[in-house]
Structure 1
Amino acid sequence: MKPGYFSLVLHAHLPYVRHEEKHRLEERWVYEAISETYIPILWQIDRLQKPLHWTVSISPPVVEMLADPLVQDRYVEHLDEMLELIEIELAEGRSEQEVETLHFYRGRYTDLKTTFLHWEKNLNHAFRTYREQGFIDMVTCTATHGFNPHLFTEQAARAEIRTGLNCFERHYGFRPTGIWLPECAYTPGVDRILYEEGVRYTFVDEHALLDADPTPDKGIGAPVYSPHGVALFPRDQIISGKIWSSMIGYPGHPDYREFYRDLAYDRDWAYIEKFMHPEGIRFDTGLKMHRITGDSDEKDYYVRAWAEHQIDNHALDFAQTLEGHLEAHGGQMFPPFLVTAPFDAELFGHWWFEGPEFLGKVAERLEEFGIETITPALFLERHFQDLETVHVSMNTWGRKGYGDVWINERNEWMLRHLHMMETQLVKDVADYRHASPLVDRALIQLVRHYVLAVSSDWAFILDGQTTAQYAAERFREHTRLFAELETALYQDKLSDELLADHYRAYPFLDDVDIDIDTFLSPHDYYVTEERGSEGEAILVLTPEYTGNVVGDLGRRVIDEVEARAAEGETVYVLTPFKEGLPEYERHNHVHVYRVRLTSPFLEHVMNQVAAQNVAYVKLAHELVAKVPFKAIHQFDWMTIPAARSLAKALQVPLYSTMLSFETTRNPHGHGGLFDAIHRIENSVLAEADTVYICEQLSTEEVGMRYAIGDNVKTCLPLDASPYGQKRLKKNTK
C-alpha cells in the first residue's frame, strides 16, 4: 500500500421544496437530483459491491423528501413523462447522432424507474442497506442547513443540530458520530454543542487549519481537535481542485455532456408544450443532447462512448495525481498523510453528468494503485491519539472563505427576523411549555417554522440571484406563519384545525424529531424541571467566582462551595457579571448567577458596590419565591450590605468569611473610602452568626482595630462544614 489515505465525502442537500400543489418548478430540483446524482451514485455502489469507504452525508430535507409518498409518486410520473417524450422524439425521424443519444436516454430512464421501484420508491432504504452492508458510511447535517455562525442563540444552534440527528436516526436506525456543518461553516463554541450531542467529527475548509492557533504541525495532512474535542477534517484544495478547478478541472472536457443546452429550448413551443409548465413556462427536461464541444455556442451532439472513454482517462489521471501527492508527503507519520475530499454530491451527476461514473472508476483505480481509502470515522478509530488540539476561528468554504455569501446587501435583512424568532422561541418555550398537549404541539410547530426559515439556501439563492423571488417568498412565508401561530398561542386561540393546516403546508419532520426543551436555557430548564426538589439551600454572595481565579479569596470561595456541594448541600452563588461568562450556569448542586448592575455605570467604587448589592438583593428575593434558603454566607466586604439585609429579611443565619480586612490590606490607610469600608466590615462582625478569618490573622490582631466577639473564628478545614451542627433558624418566608 502507498503511504497515506484518501477520504471521499459526498454531501447531498437540497432545500425543502415539497409543495402540496402540483407543477411547482422548484420540486423538479428533487427529480433532477434523484435522476442525475442519487440513483447514479447508488448504481456505482451496487456495481462495485465492496467497501468503498465513501462517506455520504444526507441532509434532513433530502431525507424527508425522499421518504415523502407525494414526492415519490410525482417522481414516477416524471419518469413516465420523460419516457413518453423520448418515444415521441424517436418517432420524429431525428438524425443518426440524435437517435443514438435518445436510445441512451431511453435505457437510462428505464433503469432509473426500475431502480426506484426496486427500493419501493424510497431511496433512503437503498443508502441504509448499503451502509449496513459496509459499502459506505453515512452522516447527516443540521435540520435545515442553517448557517451556524449567524445563529443568535445557543439554543437555536443546538436545535438545528439535535433535530437533524433525530430525523436521521428515525430514518436510518442509528445516530451518526459525524456531521456536515452547513457550508462547512465552523464557529468557535459550536464544537461544544456538537460534542454534547454526541458528534465527534466534522469538516472544514483548509484555511481553517492553516490559520489556526497554533498552526498544526502537519498542516492539512491530518485533522485536528477543536478545544472541545471534535475532530475537524480539512478539505485538500489541491486534490479537490483537480476535479473542480475552472481552469484544469475534468468536467469541462469537450466530450462531456453540456449542462446548459436542453431539448426544451431546441423544440418549437407547440411541440414541447405538453411537457412544460401549464402556465407556459419552459424548463429543462433533462434531455441534454449535446456535448460541451468548446467555448463557442455551436455544440456537437453528445456521444456517450466518447464520454466513457474520457471517464477512464480522467480516473487514471486522478489516481496518478493522488499517488504523487501522497508520495510527496510520504514522510509524515503519526498519523500518515490524509487527503480529505469533501464535495456537494450534486456536483457529480447534476452539474457533471458523468461524475458518478468517474467516482466509480476512481475507486477501481485507487485499488490498483494501492492507495488506501478510509472514512473519517475509521481514521479516528486508528489515529485518535495522534491529533493536535488547536483553536480555529470562524470560517466557511464559501466565497472569500468566511460569511460573505450569507450576509451581504442582498440578504442581510433576513437576520433580524431570524434572531427575533430565536429569542421568541426561548421565551415561548419557557413560558408555555407543558401547559397542555395542544400548546406543546404549537411549540413544536413554531420550531418547525423557524428551522424552515433558517435554511442557508434562502440567503445563498438571494446572493446568487438565481430563483431569488422564490427564496424571498419562502422565507417571508415561514416568518408569517410563525407570527400567526405565536399570536394564536398568546390569545389562547389554538385549535387542532389550525395546527393541522400549518403542518399540512410544509409536512417536514415528525413531531418526535423536535425537542422543544432544546430551546430552554439551562436556567429555564432548571426552573421548570427541578427547582424546589432539592430542599433547602445555602445562598453565597461573593465578588469573585470564576474558573480562572488568581487571588486567595476566589480560590477559597470555589473550594468552599464545591466542598459543601460534595456533601449534598445545594448552593446558590451570586457574583458580579463578567463579559464572556454565562449569566447562569449549573454544576450539579451549584447554581451560579452572575448579576448585572441595574443602574448605569457608576464611577465611584462605593456607588458601584451599592448598586451591585441592590442587584443581589433584588435577584435573591426573586429566588426566594421558589427556593427555601437556610443560611446566607458572604465573602469579602463588598457583599456585606446585601448579605446583612437578606439574613434579616429571611430570618436565617449569616456566615461571613473575611480573609483580609481593610486595615490589614492598607495598614496606613485613611480618608473617606478607608473609613467607609472599615464601618461596613465592623457591621458584619457585629451581626454575623459566625465570622471566619484566615490563619494569618489572629483574633487579637483583628480585635485591635475592630469590635469583635466570640463569633470570630479561624477558617475551618474544607472537610468541615462552617455551618457545623448549629440549629439553623427557620425560614419563615
Structure 2
Amino acid sequence: MSGAAEPVPGLFTFVLHTHLPWLAHHGRWPVGEEWLYQSWSAAYLPLVRVLRTLADEDRQHLVTLGVTPVVAAQLDDPYCLQGMHHWLANWRLRAGEAATTRTPSGPSPASEPEALRRFGSRERAEADRELAEFETLWRHGGSPILRELIDVRAIELLGGPLAHPFQPLLNLRLREFALREGLADADQRFAHRPAGIWAPECAYAPGMETDYAAAGVGHFMVDGPSLHGDTALGRPVGDSDVVAFGRDLAVSYRVWSPKSGYPGHAAYRDFHTYDHATGLKPARVTGRNVPSEAKAPYDPERAAAAVDGHVADFVATVRDRLIGESARIGRPAHVIAAFDTELFGHWWYEGPLWLEKVLRALPEAGVRVGTLTDALTDGYVGAPVQLPPSSWGSGKDWQVWAGDQVADLVRLNAEVVDTALSTVDKALAHAAARGAPGPRMFVADQILRETLLTVSSDWPFMVSKDSAADYARYRAHLHAHATREIADALASGRVEQAHRLAQGWNRADGLFGALDARRLPGA
C-alpha cells in the first residue's frame, strides 16, 4: 500500500475475552441486569460496529474474540433482548432530560446546565444510533451477528466451558462436562465449533491439556508469567499437541495498567463520576487525584486528540516489541495483547474508537495482524513447555479463587458438586435400569445447570476483590440452595415436587437449553 512503512517481522494478535456472569432475573441495580445492559450498550454494540465496518472493507483476521457461553446465552435470550431494548430507550430519555436541563444536578462542573445540555445532546444522538442498530441487527440475538463475522473471517472465535468455572478446582467429571457442553453450545449458536478457548481466568492445572485434546481444543490462552514471561511463541504443553499462547504483559499493560494505562488520561470520559439526576457520565478524568466534585466537562475533541496520540504510541510499542522479540529468539516473533472486551467502551469510553484506529494503523506501520489460528498455521510455535499451576489473577496463582478469603465458597462448591453428581448419577442409573436410551431428564438437567452457576469463578473473584462481594455470596448460595432443594426432593422420591422445583428455578435460570445430563461422563 502506498505510504506504508517497512514491514517488521512477526505477527501481532488482539485477543478479547467477553464475559459476564448470568445476570438475568437476578437483581437490577447496582449489580445485576444493569451490568449486562451497560456492557452491551457501551462495549458489545460499539465493538460489533467497528468489526462490521472493517469487515465491509474486506479486512480479515482482525481479532481473536472469546465469547463465553454465558454471555452468548444472554445475548440470545428473549428476556434479555427485551430488557436491553427497554434500557436503550430509557438511556435516550435520560439523555433528552440532560439536553434540556436548567438546573445543576450533580457533583461536578460537568453537571452545570450548559455543559450538561451539550453533553446530553451528544448522548441522545448516540442513543438514537444504538437504538436503530439494535432494532435492525440485534433483535434476533447476538449469534447471527457474530456468525456473520466468523463467516467473513473478520474474527476467530474462542469458546469456553459452560458458566465459566475455575477449572483447576472443579471435579474432573463436571470439568469435562462443562467444557464439552460449552463447545457444543457455541457450535449450535454460531455454526462454528471453536478450535481454541479462553480458559476461565486463564487458569491452568497440570494435565488439563489432556482434557483439552480429548475435547478437540487445539489452543488456549494463559497469562505471560505462566510461560515465564517468554510469550514470543506459542508452546505445546507437555506431551500434547495443544498449544498455550501467552499474553504479552509489556504490550497489554501499555493499555490497561492501573498506574499508567491509556484509560486514565485526563481527556477521557470518567467512568466513576455520575450526574445524579440522569445517571449519565458527563465528566472527563481531568486528573488522577481530582475529586468527582471538581471534574471538568467531557470534551470529545480533546478526547479524540488523546486517542490519536495513544494509537501512535501503541503502534510504536508493538513495532518495537516485534522487532526486539524477533531479534531475541532469532526468528519472527508473535506478540499478543489480551484484554477483557468490556474494557473497550464500558470501562474506557473511547476504547472502541482507539481499537478501530489501531486496527487500521498497524498494517500501515508494517505490522501484520492475525489471529491465534494464523499463528498456528504460520508456525509461530516453539518447543514444548511444562506449565505451572497458574491464572491471570493476583499473584498469577489460584489465591483469588482458593485463598482464605473464599475458603467458605470452596467448601460450598465441593459440597454442592458432590450432592449434584451423586443425585444425577442415581437418577441416570435408575432410568437406565428401565431401558436405554431414556428421554431427556429435565430435573437432572436443572440440577447440573444450578450447580454450574454455583461454581462460577465470578463469585470468589468478586469476594476476593471486594467488588459487590455481598451480591456474589448471595448468588453462590442461591444457586447452591436451588441445587440442594431439587436434589433433595428427587433423592427422597418426591419426583413430582422435584419437577415443580426444577420448573420454578428454570424460569430464572433457563440458560443452556441444550444441556443434557445424559452426557455427564461416568463415575
TM-score normalized by the length of structure 1: 0.65
Shift of 1:520: 1.2
Seq. identity, %? 27
Equivalent in the alignment of 1:451: 452
Please say if 1:157 is aligned against 2:175: yes
- Alignment check: 8 A CA contact 1:429 1:516 kept: no
Shift of 1:414: 1.3
Equivalent in the alignment of 1:103: 121
Residue 516 of structure 1 aligns to which amino acid in structure 2?
A: R
Please say if 1:34 is aligned against 2:40: yes
Q: Map residues 172-211 of structure 1 onto 2, 5 A cutoff.
A: 172-210=190-228
Equivalent in 76, 84, 90 of residue 85 of structure 2: 76
- Greater percentage in helix: 2
- Alignment check: 8 A CA contact 2:233 2:382 kept: yes
- Tell me, in whole angstroms, the C-alpha distance in 1 between the residues paired with 2:450 and 2:460: 16
Shift of 1:472: 1.0
Shift of 1:52: 4.2
Shift of 1:322: 1.1
- Tell me, in whole angstroms, the C-alpha distance in 2 between the residues paired with 1:409 and 1:333: 41
Please say if 1:131 is aligned against 2:150: yes
- Tell me, in whole angstroms, the C-alpha distance in 2 between the residues paired with 1:497 and 1:483: 14
- Tell me, in whole angstroms, the C-alpha distance in 1 between the residues paired with 2:254 and 2:32: 31
- Tell me, in whole angstroms, the C-alpha distance in 2 between the residues paired with 1:381 and 1:16: 35
Equivalent in the alignment of 2:520: 518
Output one character per residue of 1:590-616: Cα deviation in whole Å (capped at 9) or x when no partner.
xxxxxxxxxxxxxxxxxxxxxxxxxxx
- Tell me, in whole angstroms, the C-alpha distance in 1 between the residues paired with 2:226 and 2:506: 39
- Alignment check: 8 A CA contact 2:423 2:490 kept: no
- Alignment check: 8 A CA contact 2:23 2:33 kept: yes
Equivalent in the alignment of 2:434: none
Question: What secondary structure is seen at the aligned counterpart in 2 of 1:513?
Answer: coil
Question: What secondary structure is seen at the aligned counterpart in 1 of 2:430?
Answer: coil
Residue 68 of structure 2 aligns to which amino acid in structure 1?
A: S
- Tell me, in whole angstroms, the C-alpha distance in 1 between the residues paired with 2:439 and 2:54: 51
Q: 1:434/1:116 Cα in 2 relative to 1: closer, same or farther (>3 Å)?
A: farther
Q: 1:142/1:334 Cα in 2 relative to 1: closer, same or farther (>3 Å)?
A: farther
Please say if 1:433 is aligned against 2:428: yes
Q: Map residues 82-93 of structure 1 onto 2, 5 A cutoff.
A: 82-93=91-102
Please say if 1:338 is aligned against 2:334: yes
Shift of 1:505: 2.6
Q: Which has the bigger relative contact order, CA under 8 A and spacing at least 6?
A: 2
Equivalent in the alignment of 1:55: 64
Shift of 1:514: 3.3
Output one character per residue of 1:488-535: Cα deviation in whole Å (capped at 9) or x when no partner.
21122122433311211311211x2334333413xxxxxxxxxxxxxx
Q: 1:393/1:113 Cα in 2 relative to 1: closer, same or farther (>3 Å)?
A: same
Equivalent in the alignment of 1:408: 403
- Tell me, in whole angstroms, the C-alpha distance in 2 between the residues paired with 1:112 and 1:123: 14
Equivalent in the alignment of 1:296: 290
- Tell me, in whole angstroms, the C-alpha distance in 1 between the residues paired with 2:323 and 2:28: 54
Residue 43 of structure 1 aligns to which amino acid in structure 2?
A: R
Residue 503 of structure 1 aligns to which amino acid in structure 2?
A: N
Shift of 1:223: 0.9
Equivalent in 269, 275, 290 of residue 257 of structure 1: 269
Residue 234 of structure 1 aligns to which amino acid in structure 2?
A: G
Q: Which moved more, 1:234-243 or 1:490-499?
A: 490-499
- Tell me, in whole angstroms, the C-alpha distance in 2 between the residues paired with 1:291 and 1:163: 44
- Tell me, in whole angstroms, the C-alpha distance in 1 between the residues paired with 2:327 and 2:30: 55
- Tell me, in whole angstroms, the C-alpha distance in 2 between the residues paired with 1:22 and 1:345: 22
- Tell me, in whole angstroms, the C-alpha distance in 1 between the residues paired with 2:219 and 2:341: 19
Equivalent in the alignment of 1:490: 491
Residue 113 of structure 1 aligns to which amino acid in structure 2?
A: L
Output one character per residue of 1:563-588: Cα deviation in whole Å (capped at 9) or x when no partner.
xxxxxxxxxxxxxxxxxxxxxxxxxx
Equivalent in the alignment of 1:325: 321
Equivalent in 255, 259, 266 of residue 243 of structure 1: 255
Equivalent in the alignment of 1:465: 466
Output one character per residue of 1:679-715: Cα deviation in whole Å (capped at 9) or x when no partner.
xxxxxxxxxxxxxxxxxxxxxxxxxxxxxxxxxxxxx
Equivalent in 210, 216, 231 of residue 220 of structure 1: 231
Q: 1:21/1:292 Cα in 2 relative to 1: closer, same or farther (>3 Å)?
A: closer
- Alignment check: 8 A CA contact 1:425 1:519 kept: no
- Tell me, in whole angstroms, the C-alpha distance in 2 between the residues paired with 1:120 and 1:41: 13
- Alignment check: 8 A CA contact 1:406 1:463 kept: yes
Question: What secondary structure is seen at the aligned counterpart in 2 of 1:433?
Answer: helix
Question: What secondary structure is seen at the aligned counterpart in 2 of 1:387?
Answer: coil
Q: Map residues 618-629 of structure 1 onto 2, 5 A cutoff.
A: none
- Alignment check: 8 A CA contact 1:439 1:494 kept: no
Output one character per residue of 1:396-422: Cα deviation in whole Å (capped at 9) or x when no partner.
111011012112333111112212233
Shift of 1:89: 2.1
Equivalent in 11, 23, 30 of residue 17 of structure 1: 23
- Alignment check: 8 A CA contact 1:222 1:337 kept: yes
RMSD in angstroms over aligned alpha carbons?
A: 2.0
Question: What secondary structure is seen at the aligned counterpart in 2 of 1:411?
Answer: helix
Shift of 1:452: 0.5
Q: 1:356/1:471 Cα in 2 relative to 1: closer, same or farther (>3 Å)?
A: same
Shift of 1:233: 0.3
- Alignment check: 8 A CA contact 1:168 1:175 kept: yes
- Alignment check: 8 A CA contact 1:429 1:520 kept: no
Q: Which moved more, 1:230-239 or 1:471-480?
A: 471-480
Output one character per residue of 1:179-201: Cα deviation in whole Å (capped at 9) or x when no partner.
01111111111111111000000
Q: 1:504/1:95 Cα in 2 relative to 1: closer, same or farther (>3 Å)?
A: closer
- Alignment check: 8 A CA contact 1:426 1:519 kept: no
Larger Rg: 1
Equivalent in the alignment of 2:73: 64
Shift of 1:22: 6.9
Shift of 1:210: 1.4
Residue 305 of structure 1 aligns to which amino acid in structure 2?
A: E
Question: What secondary structure is seen at the aligned counterpart in 1 of 2:13?
Answer: strand
Shift of 1:120: 3.8
Shift of 1:232: 0.3
Q: 1:293/1:22 Cα in 2 relative to 1: closer, same or farther (>3 Å)?
A: closer
Q: 1:160/1:439 Cα in 2 relative to 1: closer, same or farther (>3 Å)?
A: closer
Question: What secondary structure is seen at the aligned counterpart in 1 of 2:520?
Answer: helix
Residue 516 of structure 2 aligns to which amino acid in structure 1?
A: I
Please say if 1:393 is aligned against 2:412: no
Question: What secondary structure is seen at the aligned counterpart in 2 of 1:263?
Answer: coil
Output one character per residue of 1:293-318: Cα deviation in whole Å (capped at 9) or x when no partner.
11221110001111111111110111
- Alignment check: 8 A CA contact 1:116 1:123 kept: no
- Alignment check: 8 A CA contact 2:42 2:345 kept: yes
Shift of 1:341: 1.3
Equivalent in the alignment of 2:242: 230
Shift of 1:431: 2.7
TM-score normalized by the length of structure 2: 0.90
- Alignment check: 8 A CA contact 1:330 1:336 kept: yes
- Alignment check: 8 A CA contact 1:291 1:300 kept: yes
- Tell me, in whole angstroms, the C-alpha distance in 1 between the residues paired with 2:113 and 2:427: 69
- Tell me, in whole angstroms, the C-alpha distance in 2 between the residues paired with 1:349 and 1:343: 12
Residue 355 of structure 1 aligns to which amino acid in structure 2?
A: G
Equivalent in the alignment of 1:418: 413
Shift of 1:332: 5.9
- Tell me, in whole angstroms, the C-alpha distance in 2 between the residues paired with 1:334 and 1:381: 19
- Tell me, in whole angstroms, the C-alpha distance in 2 between the residues paired with 1:147 and 1:21: 24
